[in-house]
Structure 1
């Protein structure tokens, strides 16, 4: 492995550049979102993407799956969606001899890339079916366990505007998402380019630049990247400072936060930093890489209180101040 490390690092960095070019044929702008989604994929995490309708969230995920030559499925979450609509259900099959047997029909969760569209539109029982599969990497039905094929990546979306009739994800379930990304409106020039390209009657052709086997190899490579102790300690110290009423917490954290982030946040900060370093062609991450991962990793893991709401303090402002 040691002899192949620089070689694999170069290969990963080059493949990432090709991947960005292919996605850029379809997605205008959003470079940072694309980068973070790829980081999450390589770190074997899952992403929660929040943005108003019409910002090409579905198109981004579909294009990524096409460029990676992976199976893609989209689940539209609705109030009447049942867990079996996600995981699959047993159906009766008749054999040649006339006997009837139950056979498991796999649901849309059995794909490499799963888009869970508007996950907060469905009741907790159905949300839990998806989140359990994300955590365990398998589905249990009728007493039998069915393994999900790797790589397995879930990107869930939420609309931040309409909250009526929704079922917000509890903090414990939010913690299962490695990253929380907020998609913003495009700039004027980017929107002009979007309108020009989408109304021209031609569709960009996205070519695969990586396959499942290659992706699995890169995921393992990222895990094996060495990290200096000071970088790990920096990540753990940063997460510790988000926990109110603890020794490490600054006064403003005690004033504005009800709950801080757990150990999983420290793990994801380091994994994300490793991946950023690898994509940049570096063999080990820096504290600056941890800082870049701070907002998407911590934003959904800290809970602000009434004081923060009264003073207009958001989780992002707290994180920026900690990292600052």
Structure 2
């Protein structure tokens, strides 16, 4: 029996098969080339994505730095991560320092009546803060005078720059310790307070002064600086003062005090405020002189 396919047919079939194989190889090569191209594009996109992430992180860091610096210089906002922010300083003064103040008040209870104790502690507090406030204000003025000696007045932005630079270093422990020691030694105490301090070298009074001095330094070197308000003493206890001070009741009758009824006899605890009456952070406490009826009722 003869084969249905001739030799020519076999050769044609083989040729066609080889052609198909070549076409398949070409297609496979093309596909592989496209896969390689796509892979390279993907790898490039991955690298670009990583670079973009890095750039975004860098921009965020720079933005945070700029914002922190802007807040610091402007004094309008606070950096909540700053342990020496005005809000945290006010809280520290009104909690930690005040607690020691209460303990000192109890410590000298047997030696003085209530009003005298509050007056002595108020005077101590005011003397310390005033000393720090005066020193820093004078130092800031010296800096501005040395740079702009021909100017009679200074733009607020210049003072903010000086305060911003001072704040960067004021929180350092070595700077604080030196300044606090120097300023505390410069205070001229009254004979009464000097006696109390000298008779109690290792008591809460020294701790109170140290804590008060430390927070006072941080307050006056902040930007904007904080102040302790004692200025309402002797003024009528009006609604305006009530916004920043609460009345502090006394357990002992108030007598022999030169103060008009309804007026602030003394600032037992100052309010913490921004300078130039721009607002307050914590309220203070005042003793108000009672009128005759209230005074008789107390007795």
Common fold by TM > 0.5: no
Q: Which has the larger radius of gyration?
A: 2
Task: Select the structure with the greater relative contact order (CA < 8 A; seq sep ≥ 6).
Answer: 1
Identify the TM-score tier after normalising by the shorter chain. Answer: under 0.3
Q: Which has the higher strand share?
A: 1
Structure with higher helix content: 2
TM-score of the superposition, structure 2-length normalised? 0.23
